[in-house]
């Protein structure tokens, strides 16, 4: 059996390219690229987002509302807040939902710049060796 025939047989057993089933299989594979720790963080962001009554697909209004909530009910710094937004964007892609348009992305970037000013990333504590 030649290598090409194995590929041909495999292809014949697969759902049609572009079908919902093929898309699901592709997204499942992509989902495996995320570590378990990262997946838990992503699920935390999703749970918080849903608890606010928000849902996919993302848009600037929904994401900025989530950012405002993070600022009001948590003490997350800008880096941690950015990770939550990245989680939502990644989950949206993995679920096969279309991405946001350029205008929405620009508004979210602007909101995150505000978060960076309000909640800058904490610097690591400096240890003075002479204090030992």
Are 56 and 99 contacting, i.e. CB atoms less than 8 angstroms apart?
no
Instruction: Judge whether 61 lies within some domain.
Output: yes
pLDDT of residue 102: 96
- CA quadruple 46, 47, 48, 54: dihedral positive or negative? positive
Question: Over 60: is that where the pLDDT of 124 sits?
Answer: no
* Domain contains 45: yes
Q: Which of 54, 57, 31, 27 is nearest to 42 (CA)?
A: 31
The answer to whether 91 and 42 have CB atoms below 8 angstroms apart is: yes
Does residue 43 sit within a domain?
A: yes
Q: Is residue 20 part of a domain?
A: no
| Residue 96: domain span | 34-118
Domain count, the chain: 1
pLDDT at 58: 97
Q: How far apart are CA 125 and CA 10, in angstroms?
A: 56
User: Rounded to an integer, what distance in angstroms lies between the CA atom of residue 110 and that of residue 69?
Assistant: 16
Q: What is the pLDDT of residues 57-104, one digit of tens each?
A: 999 999 999 999 999 999 999 999 999 999 999 999 888 788 899 999
Summarised one tens digit per residue, pLDDT across range 5-42 is: 898 999 999 999 888 898 788 878 888 888 889 989 99
What is the tens place of the pLDDT at every residue in 112-122? Answer: 999 999 998 76
Query: Is residue 128, in this structure, part of any structural domain at all?
Result: no
Instruction: Read off the DSSP letter of residue 125.
Output: P
Cα–Cα distances in Å, from 18 out to 9, 32, 97? 19, 20, 14
Q: What pLDDT was estimated at residue 95?
A: 82
User: What's the predicted TM-score (pTM) here?
Assistant: 0.73
């Amino acid at each position: 059996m030649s290598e090409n025939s194995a590929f041909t047989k495999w292809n014949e057993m697969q759902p049609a390219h572009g079908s919902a089933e093929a898309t699901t299989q592709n997204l499942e594979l992509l989902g495996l690229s995320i570590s378990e720790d990262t997946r838990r963080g992503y699920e935390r962001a999703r749970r918080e987002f849903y608890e606010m009554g928000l849902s996919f697909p993302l848009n600037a209004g929904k994401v900025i509302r989530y950012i405002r909530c993070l600022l009001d009910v948590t003490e997350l710094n800008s880096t941690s807040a950015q990770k939550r937004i990245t989680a939502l964007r990644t989950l949206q892609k993995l679920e096969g939902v279309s991405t946001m348009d350029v205008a929405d992305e620009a508004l979210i970037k602007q909101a995150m710049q505000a978060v960076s000013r309000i909640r800058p990333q904490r610097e690591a504590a400096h240890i003075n060796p002479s204090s030992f």
